[in-house]
Amino acid sequence: MAAYDVLILGGGPAGYVCAIRCAQLGLSTAVVEREALGGTCVLWGCIPAKALLESANLATHLKKAGEHGITLGEVTLDFTPAMKRSRAVSQQNSKGVGFLFKKNKVTELKGTATLEQGGKRVTVRTADGKTETHEARKAVVIATGSRVKGLPQAGLELNKTTVLSSDDVLVLEKAPKTMLVVGAGAVGCEFSDVFNAYGTQVTLVDVAPQILPLEDADSSAEVAKAFKKRGIEVLTGARMSNVKVGKDSVSLTVEAGGATRELTVEKVLVAAGRAPNTDTAGLKEAGVALTERGFVQVDDRFQTSVPGVYAIGDVAGNQMLAHKGSREGHVLAELLAGEHPHPVNYENVPNCTYCHPEVASIGLTEAQAKERGLDYKVGKFPFSANGRARTSGETDGFVKILRGAKYGEILGAHIVGAHATEMIHELVVARENEYTVEEIDLAIHAHPTLSEAVAEAALDSMGKMIHA
């Protein structure tokens, strides 16, 4: 038996960040991981998907090369090299986490973990079938992440051939001629973008009345308009029935917008959410309490119902986002080391969707502000009036800021457009430090930049916009 101060189950963004910070603080730390390090984000989510989106964006821009005086020969699009590049980027990032483990003297235990009764002991079954037992002197941290799920209730059980998960499409050898994407959240919109760029006829459906249902209605409408302009069919408020899954295709009936359609497609991508990995690792047997939705119950210090056992990341609920899990890992490590970190501010975690145009947001949507009965003002500035956006030919979208009418505090901010996921952080910092729109205005924004649109939206919320 080996003993460590901290044993972490899972090497994703929550687990590996927690491990590295624990080691930096002098705690002997080990991570149990059955797959490569990096978790879903590095292996099957954030990183490979964004690599594909970069390829898709390049493919889209090549179509406009003539506008820049660049004459190309015949351009052919092949999904296979893009997919292989995506996998290579993923593997490189995973190796990077391994390097950081060695640098910080974190022990990697390769295998599948089971939490023993009492919570401080973990059994690890290695890849070669051997069993090891390890003990945690201070804490066991559950960071087992989440997994894709199908829609068996709608007749769409994942089968890796015609009904695919977001994991499955990352290893497709070629782009299909037709694809139905079920679920118009971040994952569904991102893969709709990718496959459309590589010539697939994409139909995007969601039961919600708008795509990107967690975003502000204006943002959702802007992306839907951009998608339709590119030939992506968007069906919201949709209901599916008569699903028939064949060997080479899927047929079904879709009702949306008062019309009924019969669809037959080569592939269906189910992008309708994820489930926490709490049905493995012996959590229930060890007495770890779960919520009705299957997440681990934790208090404000990530403590579970079992003393000395903690949970962070997707398994602990709240936003299922890599950066949220990473921050939880960082904070928990400092708590375990006896420090007094700032708690995680779940009201100020940015949402980012990397389709084109990109979408990013922080804080309240306008609908939420209305539901709370807040007195607010809206400032909005279109990228079509921004000089830098015009020079790059990327004028879709806007910056929208909601400010408190009395004090000017930033209640929420929403960006749709090129590089929105980078630009949002000015407003994340502003909200975290309780800056007002007046203080955003006081910061001189360089010209010409896309970020000038943030300053202009702040001005508009005060009735002082200059350039539109």
How does DSSP assign 160-222, residue by residue? SSSEE-TTGGGG-SS--SEEEEE--SHHHHHHHHHHHHTT-EEEEEESSSSSSTTS-HHHHHH
pLDDT score, position 84? 96
User: The tokens of 436 are what?
Assistant: 């007002």
pLDDT score, position 73? 86
Q: Point out the domain boundary residue: 316, 346, 376.
A: 346
Q: Point out the domain boundary residue: 319, 346, 373.
A: 346
User: The tokens of 233 are what?
Assistant: 């069919």
- The structure tokens 């939206």 sit at 457
User: Is residue 467 situated within a structural domain?
Assistant: no
E runs forming strands in 289-409: 309-311, 351-353, 358-363, 376-382, 398-404
Q: Find, among 273, 33, 232, 313, the residue nearest to 150 by Cα.
A: 273
The answer to whether residues 117 and 8 belong to one domain is: yes
The CA distance from 34 to 44, in Å, is 14
The answer to whether residues 23 and 142 belong to one domain is: yes
Asked if 236 and 209 touch (Cβ cutoff 8 Å), the reply is yes
CATH number at residue 261: 3.50.50.60
Instruction: Give the residue ranges of the chain where pLDDT is below 50.
Output: none
Sheet containing strand 398-404, edge to edge, reads 351-353, 358-363, 410-417, 398-404, 376-382
The answer to whether residues 142 and 25 belong to one domain is: yes
The answer to whether residues 16 and 121 belong to one domain is: yes
**pLDDT, tens digit (0-9, with 9 covering 90-100), for 275-300:** 999 988 899 999 999 999 999 999 99
Interstrand relation of 201-206 and 178-182 (parallel, antiparallel or unpaired): parallel
User: Is residue 352 situated within a structural domain?
Assistant: no
The domain of 169 spans: 152-272
Helix (H) or strand (E) holding 410: strand 410-417
Q: Which residues form the catalytic set? A: 447
- The structure tokens 């407003």 sit at 427
φ/ψ of residue 453, rounded to 5: -65, -30
Q: How many CB atoms lie within 10 A of CB 190?
A: 22
Q: Which burial class, exposed, middle or buried, applies to 424 when counting CB atoms under 10 A from its CB (0-12, 13-18, 19+)?
A: buried
User: Is residue 319 situated within a structural domain?
Assistant: yes
The alpha carbon torsion through 409, 412, 417, 419 (nearest 10 deg) reads: 70
CATH number at residue 372: 3.30.390.30
The answer to whether residues 141 and 158 belong to one domain is: no
Which residues 6+ apart lie within 8 Å of 247 measured at CB? 161, 162
The CA distance from 114 to 245, in Å, is 36
pLDDT score, position 128? 84
- The structure tokens 């919109």 sit at 189
pLDDT score, position 390? 97
User: Is residue 265 situated within a structural domain?
Assistant: yes
User: Is residue 208 situated within a structural domain?
Assistant: yes
The answer to whether residues 51 and 197 belong to one domain is: no
The CA distance from 68 to 66, in Å, is 5
User: Is residue 468 situated within a structural domain?
Assistant: no
The answer to whether residues 165 and 261 belong to one domain is: yes
The answer to whether residues 362 and 417 belong to one domain is: yes
The answer to whether residues 207 and 189 belong to one domain is: yes
Global model pTM greater than 0.85: yes
Bridge partners (DSSP) listed for residue 233:
203
The CA distance from 246 to 243, in Å, is 10
User: The tokens of 361 are what?
Assistant: 């947001």
The answer to whether residues 34 and 156 belong to one domain is: no
User: Is residue 334 situated within a structural domain?
Assistant: yes
pLDDT score, position 273? 84
User: Is residue 183 situated within a structural domain?
Assistant: yes
Asked if 31 and 15 touch (Cβ cutoff 8 Å), the reply is yes
The answer to whether residues 283 and 141 belong to one domain is: yes
The answer to whether residues 218 and 166 belong to one domain is: yes
Split into its structural domains, the chain has a count of 3
Q: Point out the domain boundary residue: 272, 293, 323.
A: 272
